[in-house]
Every structure is written in structure tokens, then in C-alpha cells.
Amino acid sequence: MYQYLPFIELPKELNSSWEGWDAIHQELQEVAGQVAGPKVVIAVECYHGTLDEANFQELKKRLQPNASCKTSHLFQESEVLRELIRRRMADKGRPGKFTGLSISDYFDPQKLLGIQHSINSIEEGVVLIYGAGASLVWTPDILIYADMSHWEVQQRMRRGDIGNIGLNNVKAPFEQKYEIAFFNDWQACNQLKRELIGSCDYFLETNNWAKPKLASGAIVRRGLEQATRQPIKMAPFFDPELWDHLPPHNGHSKKSPPLEWWFSCVPEEDNLLFRFGTMLFEAPLLNLVFYKPESFLGMEVVRKFGAYLPVRFNFIDTTESQDTAFQLNPITQEIVDSLGCRYRQATGYYLLQAQPGAKLELADPEQHPQTLKVKELGLQQHDFVQIPPGIPYRAGKKLTAVQINTAPQIFSVKLPPAPAEERLANTFPEIVHHPLTPTDPFFLQEEVLSNDVILLTRNWFSQVTSFHTNGAINILLLVAGQAAVVESPSGFFQPFLARYGETVIIPAQVGAYRLRPLDKKPPMHALLRATVVPR
């Protein structure tokens, strides 16, 4: 049974969270009255994807400011920004195509100087500045960070609700908007967010635009600190784009789809859920990475990768779907983004379930695109396969697996179809293949499945088994057995339930922990554990 809402609970303090525009206005009106001086500047710094016009109008209608502006009106012309981004992303000398732009680069200097003169001349009343870069226009008396999860941003781009920052491209294809968002918009927003997350007065959450929620910066930061001291699960999401045979599902229905269709460890997409009293509040996992990188990831991980979690688990189910496209992890050096985070793609598959005939397909890279010579690798439950760089691959039919990547999928190349396919029975470039031992694999306490970028191990256990983070984040996935309790030997955190197929993150500073099977006479359990170790 999947845990639908894995929230972190904090005691609700007086005046710490508010829901609905009316309650939000009442709080802002009250705190504005406490500002010394007759002029109060309120800046609403926005992440890419917030519904600017709707949110701005709701705030403006209630606050009745003496003056207001949207930062998008202060940007350079759309065509100028489009050409700047295009040139940066097309630069062959910049692997990964990160533009390196910041939000400050968007502003037209003359427009910015003009609005600053106008604000300076206002002697009293409320001034409202709204949009990406609002905190850069004027030092505010009240700073609100309007946050947004990457997952919701993508849905809005797919629906045609939003475009990219500063560009008039709402109706552009999703793939085009996503590429610009990943390599430019999110980088620029993350750079500014990392500077503001420790000091903003409030966080505004509008993933559900009809039910805005406001929380004090202090209570959200307390929640992030709490998240570094206990095991955590991320809020799962569902992607209907991947399974066309299923009816549409927006991820908010109380009736959960089958287990294999949940995604619960994609750091750039996922949210943490906090509960303040009775209110659930979403915050991107990236906030935790940016606010407490060493406590959460570990000093060695930060040194090696920057403020970045190099582990993602995607659940793949091909029991009913059509053939997927071949993908390729290029043979490349590490890609470094504008925040100093380091990416290198490595991919593996762990088989959760396998029907007769389940297989992975690997192609000969020397023959593509003239023809596609394919090697089929037969698999069974609990097999693990590491895909070498430079080898095209795809999941065959009749399997349910965890695809384990060390970088976002955008760094993998999707190959166009080849004119023909030829099935090979001959030898193929060597791959790391850990089949389940057909006799009795359970005598092994721990097996190393991969040590490429991350250390991936499998532990079989039927009794209490102890682990230690050793100063680096641990990511756990129970792949056999129904449930186990994660415990602290010293009582550092409350017992935490890990169910089959649920990703559980153990922050670096947790230290010692152990897993205890839930049943009194448990069958053999199996645990995947991904860690980052110094080399």
C-alpha cells in the first residue's frame, strides 16, 4: 500500500501559515502596518511557472498599492532575449548547453533605472513589485518567495499555460520550452533562490493556483531543518504521458494507480510535503538541497557534485506498452552547470518483476543510423544491468523495473528509428550484469551492483540489519518484502515505515540507522541502497 501523502509534521505556531487570498491579504496587511516608515515595499520573487497575471491581480486587488509593477515589463525585448539564449545554448564549446545567464541579465538597464527612480520618489503607501527578479528591483521591506515545483511547471508548459521567462512563446512545443527551462530558466531561478531561501519573510505556494498557501519563512526553514534529521519520502507524482493506455490521471485523485506508476525519487521534479497544523504545504526538494546541502547531502557529496543529488529512481513498466525509443548515454566528461553542480549520466536497470520473455535491448553503436543491430539480454526478477556509455539501449516488453540514473534524462540522447533491425546472437560489448543466483542468493549480506558515479548495493535480510550514512546521503528502495521499519539505535528520529517500492532518503547527518522487517516471521527482504562515496 503506497503512502499517498508522506508529510513531515511540524507543530502549527500562531501566525505561521495561511490559506486563501483573503487570509494571505490579512496577514500581509497586518505585517505591513508594523513596518517603520510611511512607505512599505513588498517584493514577490517568482520562480518560473507561477501564473503571473492571476497571482498579481489577486494581490493587487486586495493590497490596493499606491504603485505596482511586474518585472516582465522591465525586461529586454523578447526577441533580444530569445537570440541571447539561442546563442548561449548553441555554443558547441559549452557541453550541456547551460547558458550561464542570471535573472539580472534579463533587465533593460534604462527601464530598471526608471522604475527605481519612481519608487524612490514615492513617499508613503504600499509599493508592490511582482515577478522573477522582483527582489533585485528594490530592497524590500517584506520579501515573499513564490515557489513552484518543476513538475507543475512542466504540466503548465504542456497545457500551453506558460512559456519561458521573458519570451513570448506560450504556444511553442513543449520540448522546446522544456529545453530552455532546464538549461536557462531554472538555472537562473535556482541561483537567485539559493541566495534568498535563508532570508525571505514568506513562501507562497501556488502549485494549486485556486488554493494559494502562505507560510512564514521561519516555519518553512524549520521544516527543512527537520527534514535533515529523519528519514524522508518525497511526494509521489504520476505521469500519464508515459502510459497512453491508461485514462488521464492528474496525480491528485484519492484512488491511487498501481504501484509501478508512481515516481518517488526524481530530485529536480519532486516535492517535500509539510503539515503545519491541518494545512499541507509543498516545497521543492531542491529547497532542502540549497538550504542545508552539507547536512542533507554530506560534505563529500557537496565537494564532489556541488549542491546536487546524483541519484534518481524511475519506475518503468512495459507489460502492456509499445516498444520505446532507443536511448544513448554519450561518452562525455562531467558537465558543470552555472551553479557548479556536476552531471555525468550513468544508467542501470533493476528488475522488480519479469514475465517470461522479459529483456533489455542493446544496439550496436557502430551500425546506427544505417541499420540497427540489436542484442537481446534475457532477464529475470532481481537482475541488475549496468548500461555502458555509448551503447544504445531500451527496455523490452514484459518487465517492470527501476531505471537508476545519475543525471536527468535530458542528458541522454533519444535515437531516431533506424531503417531496419537485425537481431544478433553473437558477442556484444561487455556489460555489468548481476543475475539473481539460481540456487540460494540470500547468503550474501551485501552485493555491490555498481560503482559508477554512485555506489549501488543490494542487501538481503530477514532480521534487523544495521547501516551508517558515513557522512553521505543514502537512498533506499525495498525491492523484496512488504515493509520494514527504519529505526535509530539512539532514538535520533522516530521509527519510520518503508514499504515495497517506496524510495526513502536518509540524510547524511542521520548517521546510524537500522532496518527491521515488519512481520514476526518475515520472508527474505531485499534492499537497494544508493550512496555516494569518496574516491
Average pLDDT, integer, range 129-152? 95
What is the rounded distance in angstroms from the CA atom of residue 44 to the CA atom of residue 144? Answer: 5
The pLDDT value recorded for residue 1 is 37
The pLDDT value recorded for residue 95 is 54
pLDDT reading at 512 higher than 60:
yes
Closest CA to 137 of 80, 189, 68, 59: 68
Q: How confident is the model at residue 343 (pLDDT cuts 50, 70, 90)?
A: confident
Q: How confident is the model at residue 99 (pLDDT cuts 50, 70, 90)?
A: very high
Cis peptide before 417 (omega within 30 of 0): no
pLDDT reading at 36 higher than 50:
yes
The pLDDT value recorded for residue 261 is 43
pLDDT reading at 439 higher than 60:
no
What is the rounded distance in angstroms from the CA atom of residue 75 to the CA atom of residue 73? Answer: 6
Hey, which of 22-31, 262-271, 300-309, 513-522 has the most confident mean pLDDT? 22-31
Closest CA to 403 of 417, 384, 390, 416: 384
In the block, residue with C-alpha cell 524549520: 222
Amino acid of residue 213: K
In the block, residue with C-alpha cell 529512481: 313
CA angle, residues 334, 336, 338, in degrees to nearest 5: 175
pLDDT reading at 169 higher than 70:
yes
Who wins on pLDDT, 442 or 86?
Answer: 86
Hey, which of 91-100, 184-193, 448-457 has the most confident mean pLDDT? 184-193
The pLDDT value recorded for residue 4 is 55
DSSP 21-60: HHHHHHHHHHHHTTSSSSEEEEEEEE-TT--HHHHHHHHH
Instruction: Read off the pLDDT of residues 189-208 as tens digits, 9 standing for 90 and up.
Output: 999 999 999 999 999 999 88
Residue 261: phi and psi, rounded to 5, are -100, 10
Distances (CA, A) of 491 to 73, 83, 466, 495: 54, 56, 14, 8
The b-or-e profile of 336-347 (16+ CB within 10 A means b, else e) is bbbeebbbbbbb
CB 361 within 8 A of CB 376: yes
CB 391 within 8 A of CB 328: yes
Q: How confident is the model at residue 224 (pLDDT cuts 50, 70, 90)?
A: very high
pLDDT reading at 440 higher than 60:
no
The pLDDT value recorded for residue 199 is 95
Q: How confident is the model at residue 431 (pLDDT cuts 50, 70, 90)?
A: low
Q: How confident is the model at residue 243 (pLDDT cuts 50, 70, 90)?
A: very low
Count CB atoms within 10 A of the CB of residue 425: 7
Q: What grid cell was written down for 487?
A: 529505526
* Mean pLDDT for all residues in the chain: 85
Q: What grid cell was written down for 323?
A: 516498444
First to last CA, the chain: 38
Q: What grid cell was written down for 154?
A: 512542466
Query: How far from chain centre, in Å, is Cα 249?
Result: 20
In the block, residue with C-alpha cell 523484496: 480
Q: How confident is the model at residue 328 (pLDDT cuts 50, 70, 90)?
A: confident
Closest CA to 200 of 222, 185, 221, 186: 221
What is the rounded distance in angstroms from the CA atom of residue 342 to the CA atom of residue 497? Answer: 32
Structural domains of the chain, with CATH: 15-271 (3.40.50.300), 312-434 (2.60.120), 441-531 (2.60.120.10)
In this prediction the pTM is 0.89
pLDDT reading at 470 higher than 60:
yes
CB 142 within 8 A of CB 40: yes
Give the lowest-confidence range in 112-116, 153-157, 509-513, 518-522: 518-522
What is the rounded distance in angstroms from the CA atom of residue 318 to the CA atom of residue 322? Answer: 7
Give the lowest-confidence range in 44-58, 324-338, 397-411: 324-338
The pLDDT value recorded for residue 207 is 86
Q: How confident is the model at residue 216 (pLDDT cuts 50, 70, 90)?
A: very high
DSSP 374-429: EEEEE--TT-EEEEPTT--EEE-SSEEEEEEESS-GGGSEEPPPPS-EEEE-S---
pLDDT reading at 241 higher than 50:
no
What is the rounded distance in angstroms from the CA atom of residue 383 to the CA atom of residue 433? Answer: 7
Average pLDDT, integer, range 454-460? 92
Q: How confident is the model at residue 329 (pLDDT cuts 50, 70, 90)?
A: confident
Give the lowest-confidence range in 218-232, 369-383, 427-441, 507-521: 427-441
The pLDDT value recorded for residue 260 is 38
Amino acid of residue 281: F
Average pLDDT, integer, range 240-244? 41
CB 390 within 8 A of CB 328: yes
The pLDDT value recorded for residue 377 is 81
Percentage of the chain beyond pLDDT 70 is 84
Closest CA to 150 of 103, 91, 193: 193
The pLDDT value recorded for residue 398 is 85
Give the lowest-confidence range in 58-67, 79-88, 124-133, 370-379: 370-379
The pLDDT value recorded for residue 210 is 83
Who wins on pLDDT, 348 or 339?
Answer: 348
The pLDDT value recorded for residue 361 is 84
The pLDDT value recorded for residue 396 is 82
Count CB atoms within 10 A of the CB of residue 495: 11
Give the lowest-confidence range in 11-15, 377-381, 433-437: 433-437
Percentage of the chain beyond pLDDT 90 is 52
pLDDT reading at 262 higher than 70:
no
